[in-house]
Amino acid sequence: MIDQALPTLHDWITVFTHAAIPVLPDSVAELAELRAMEDARGNVDAHMLSQNLGGDPLMTLKVLRQVSQECHRRHITSPETLTSAILMQGIGPFFRFNENVPSVIDWLADYPEALSGLLKVIKRARRAAHLAVTFASHRQDEDADMLQEAALLHDFAEMLLWCHAPLLALTIAQRQKADHTLRSADVQKDVLGIELTDLAHALMAAWQLPELLIDNTNNRQAEHPRVKTVLLAVRIARHTQYGWDDPHAQAALPDDIADVAQLLTLSDESAKRKIMEIDS
């Protein structure tokens, strides 16, 4: 475990490039069940695996990293979604690559507060994914599934921080909870010496992840409709992570609603209803 800030962004990249990625316990159980089904009947396919495992951002990241790095070695284009990655990898190799995958519960057994923090980030990521696919579907975007996945993975660097530097992640979370006006980037820079957005994009490049995934999580292209779909979903999920009535949420939501209304060409009231439907 990393217990203090590393000197440079390059050092963080080096540590995380080959770091293990534990997954949710539900994914561990699903892998065992699906492996048994495949061994017994041979009827497991990529769509079934994606349906059962795709709600776990860590599992999704793990598979995309495996397959993208292999694609890079073979000089072929990386697949853009979990389903296409599993399809390219093949069912047998998929199960071989994912034998004895660690669970986050075991991984963070000595850090219960960090486990709680990680699970909150994953819950937030799932809400962002739900919002993103809702917005993308309203816009009739043909790549709605890919945008859903981009939102799910947007904060993967924060998830990895909880897994590999739990005490530092906890320090960041405590500071932000104590003062919601603090900018995430400023707190990260103070505690880690880097911004997690920079780490995430450096890792995506190092792992040769799909270009569309990198592009659609790029804050510097925030006005592109697809990028805006993802970033708005992530932003709203973050603003409302402590509830719709939280003072920070109440302060941020009018701007969020106005931006969603503009993106989807809706009235503010219709945009508000669409946003709040996620928790209804």
Low-confidence ranges of the chain (pLDDT < 70): 219-222, 280
Please tell me the distance from the alpha carbon of residue 173 to that of residue 117, in angstroms, as a whole number.
8
**pLDDT tens per residue across span 36-57:** 999 999 999 999 999 999 999 9
**pLDDT tens per residue across span 141-184:** 999 999 999 999 999 999 999 999 999 999 999 998 888 778 88
CATH 1.10.3210.10 domain residues, the chain? 9-102, 105-279
Q: Is the domain defined by 9-102 classed in CATH 1.20.120.1200? A: no
Q: What is the CATH number of domain 105-279?
A: 1.10.3210.10
